[in-house]
Amino acid sequence: MNLETFRSETRGFLEANCPQSMRNKALHFEDAHEIYSTADADLWLNCMAERGWTAPTWPAEYGGGGLDFESNRVLQEELAAIKALPPATGMGLAMIGPTLLEFGTEEQRQRHLPKIVSGEVRWCQGYSEPGSGSDLASLQTRAVLEGDQFIINGQKIWTSGAQYSNWMFALVRTNPGVPKHDGISFVLLEMDQPGVTIKPIQLISGSSPFCETFFDNAVARRDDLVGELNKGWTVGKRLLQYERSATSVRTKKKGKPVNPYAKIAKAYFGEKSGKLSSPDIRNKITRQTMMEKSLQLTIQRVAEESKSGKAPGAATSIFKLVGSTLAKEGSALKSEVRGVSGMGWEGDSFTADELESTRGWLRDRAVTIYGGTNEVQMNIISKRVLGLPD
């Protein structure tokens, strides 16, 4: 099938099957559970999963769509054209799935990947601990191999979506008697078992996307060790590269693009001679827009370089640092241009957009901390990518 025929058929399929309620929405991971817990979301997931289009580039033998780069680009363009939300999101698709494709055994792929594609199973990440955040390799959660299973004891923190997850991928210490990077293993474990306790953490924004997770003789199968025993640091680092590269490239939409910052500023500051009346705000918006566009083009360049199907390269190391910084600065700017209206928490004197602006500003204060602080990201880039000395 040529690309134009594929585009035409894809456009018709999406228009006929994507519910209106799954279009024209902003998606943030804190709100994802509510957005995807509806009948329309289930309908959208099921019809896309039947084609493997929840994971369109994964091999068909694991439930994926088996699309090549060009066909997937057409699919993403047509999804963007109708402003459709992704049919599924989460760490299964963005993180553990690609990792299993690279490091997993054939049995692990057959057992786990189709359930990720179908949305039957949700995943969470067990990396950070109360004493091992920025220095992740110092983690202390222990896993002792007894026969055909690991017995796990310890605690993880900031486990996003743990209260909704069926499985966790985790880094655990399997050999405490060697240098810290050398005694870590990468395991998969079920969340619905007596040895796992989950406690959500409420944030300043009012939501609870993160959790504490406690292990008291929790069990993981020996068959769910990914990679070699005590060599999990290599697998764990690669997964983080997939996480960094999971930022999607926004496709261009028809018509003149709308600058969201300028649109808000015009409503609250007004215009003078066709320009925003505040030179200071105008300069801030210009800088923010230029930085966001630069990041977008860099991501697009990396995607083009990955056409060969190789794993993400070193350039992905900047995505978390730059992307999180711009997200935080963008949320702060949207509140700033609203003035006092961008500081409301509740009350009829504020619009829904103004209240969401406040929550977004507070919520995004954390994006330069979780997933690896900006300081840690700069250390990684300087040492691991640029090869600079300590």
Catalytic residues, which ones? Answer: 243
Closest by alpha carbon to 334, among 259, 279, 276? 259
Closest by alpha carbon to 35, among 24, 22, 46? 22
Instruction: Tell me the C-alpha to C-alpha distance, in Å, between residue 19 and each of 90, 92, 129.
Output: 20, 23, 40
Contact in structure between 66 and 52 (CB atoms under 8 Å):
yes
> In sequence order, which ranges of the chain are alpha helices (DSSP H)?
3-17, 32-35, 39-50, 69-81, 91, 97-103, 106-118, 232-244, 260-269, 279-305, 317-337, 352-363, 374-380
Instruction: Tell me the C-alpha to C-alpha distance, in Å, between residue 179 and each of 130, 138, 146, 154.
Output: 20, 10, 23, 19
Instruction: Tell me the C-alpha to C-alpha distance, in Å, between residue 324 and each of 222, 320, 370.
Output: 36, 6, 9
CA R_g for the chain: 22
